[in-house]
Amino acid sequence: MKAYLAIKYHKDGRNHGLIREICEVLRALEIETIAPVIHLETDGKKLEPKELMQKSLAELRTCDILIAECSEKSVGLGIEAGYAFSIAKPIILIAKEGSEVSPTLLGIAEKIIFYNNPAELSRKIRW
């Protein structure tokens, strides 16, 4: 199974540690994961927003499922989730306990999983 990990983009990369932790958990579950902000912007090369979004959506088309980390509100994440929904990709939302999740995302997701730390996801993500 291949998953696309949608998560808020921060230019300064402040959530790259969280992204890597989630990817490790998914890898342990034998889920290949693409996280565009890490996997597409390599060797310190930053892509222009338009190019990053185009490449991201192309990657999303190759995936079986979208996992959206929605602890923080994000327009880009909403675009990715909406696109996944439009091409009939299953959507799983994950969010830190206490996060306010967009009602729109809730309306298109198959399920939502709340967690305190990424390690918990290994026992909560099942399909």
**Residue 27 structural domain:** 2-124
For residue 25, how many other CB atoms are within 10 A of its CB?
Answer: 22
Write down the mean pLDDT value for the chain: 90
Residue 79 has pLDDT above 80, yes or no: yes
Domain count, the chain: 1
Which CATH number goes with the domain that contains 18?
3.40.50.450
Mean pLDDT of 89-109: 96
For the question of whether the overall pTM of this predicted structure is more than 0.85, the answer is yes
What are the backbone dihedrals phi and psi of residue 24, each rounded to the nearest 5 degrees, phi first?
Answer: -65, -45
Chain segment 3-22, per-residue pLDDT in tens = 999 998 887 878 889 999 99
